[in-house]
Amino acid sequence: MEIKDEDEYCSQCMHGISQEALRTLMTLYQPLVGSDAVLVYLTLAAEAESTHGRDSFQRIFALTGIPAATFAKACAKLEEYMLLRTYKKEDESHSSYIFLLNLPLSAKDFSTNGFYISRYQKIMGQGQTEVSLTKAMGGTVSLQGYKDVTHAIKNLKTEDYDRTIAYAEVKPQYVFSSEDAAINFDYERFLAKCTALVFPIELRSQDNMALIGRLATVYGLSPERMIILTKECVHLSTMEFDSEKLKIKAARAESDAVTGNDPYEISPVSFLQSKQNGVPVSYTDKKLVERLSTEMHFSNTVINIMLEYILKVSQNRLSPKFVDMVAGEWARDGIATKEQALLETKKQLKMVSRNRAHVKIEMPEYMKKQKAEGIKEDPQASQEQIEQLKEMQKKIKERNKYGKG
């Protein structure tokens, strides 16, 4: 395409460029088409908003700061990746061009295009490809552990807040509430290190991510350990995530050592292990504790206080029926904080001790009779009987001795 300064052009972009399209263009397309092509694309998109009509190419050359030959190469790159369609009409004195801009593919469609992704990996490398796809397709950032320090706006004018603006609320792919006390997991570290090839973006649903956080919380597993376990539960061929397999693997995994000032804040499995003198917790007990977190949604602190109470009143035994009964009572009573759990434990222990104080154990009839009549003492052996017993023991030893000989 040979372009002269006196030639004219106009551009058209049917849908405008959204924030997502801009992110995909800069992150995924730019390494393929080059910076000059991106500059031309954005400039043509900006010019498409104008109703001025046609302009000479002198204008766009001045705006972009690139010569005609470079502009032509940039357009060819955009056409190669389906971002631009070019129409030309020739007159006697000059030529007129119409540039129709196509929107970039979504990040998901880009990642499934074998031609595009293979070229991208060749340019950027495997590691940076995974980073780009994760950033382009990732969900919202976790706010867990952060405090809202936004400055409040004061002294607003009436006309500023009387205006009503219609907007469409966009639901993020997954959001984790910072107030969910049952989950204590570093999602930021998990998402930063877990690539899209290990755990595909389409499998990172709200339920799957919440399950990962809960299992890590109850078993005391680090984000790095959860990445390894999650990878083993992903079937890339069918694009499925086996949540039941993850539960089994998390229960069998060894807890990561975590120290803290409050013993009630450690993982329930580590807490239970400390209660049994460091002996590893059985798989059955682990699954019992897991249910308190994943199904009953109790926090680590409440679970640990509950376990301590149950062990005290049941002679260090964890009966599934008794655990379910106590958990159901606490859930119905709305016990959700450490203070509430400690108060409930104190109240229940008082009731148990009061009930035990009123319990009277009756002696069997034969013991009552012996107590009333008195127990007769056995007569002592005489010296002669003692000597006879010693003689018998001596003969037995000699017989055994000769028998061995």
pLDDT along the chain (405 residues), means of 10: 82 81 90 94 84 79 91 93 90 86 88 87 87 70 64 52 43 45 77 84 87 88 91 89 92 73 80 82 86 84 90 86 90 89 86 63 66 64 82 82 59
| Tokens standing for residue 22 | 């801009």
| Amino acid at residue number 349 | L
The CATH number for 8-106, chosen from 2.40.50, 1.10.10, 1.20.140, 1.25.40, is 1.10.10
Contact 63, 29 (CB under 8 A): no
Q: Measured between alpha carbons, how far is residue 168 from residues 15, 138, 139, 171, 313 in Å?
A: 17, 20, 18, 9, 55
Predicted TM-score of the model (pTM):
0.41
Contact 85, 102 (CB under 8 A): yes
Q: Which residues contact 286 (CB under 8 A, 6 or more apart)?
A: 219, 251, 269
C-alpha 3 chain-centroid distance: 54
How far is residue 365's CA from residue 375's CA, in Å, rounded to a whole number?
Answer: 14
Q: Measured between alpha carbons, how far is residue 34 from residues 12, 119, 338 in Å?
A: 21, 13, 57
What is the model's pLDDT at position 65? Answer: 92
Contact 48, 101 (CB under 8 A): yes
What is the model's pLDDT at position 162? Answer: 46
What is the model's pLDDT at position 387? Answer: 85
What is the model's pLDDT at position 232? Answer: 92
How far is residue 141's CA from residue 344's CA, in Å, rounded to a whole number?
Answer: 37
Domain ranges of the chain: 8-106, 187-252, 264-355
Q: Measured between alpha carbons, how far is residue 235 from residues 113, 131, 284, 298 in Å?
A: 20, 21, 27, 31
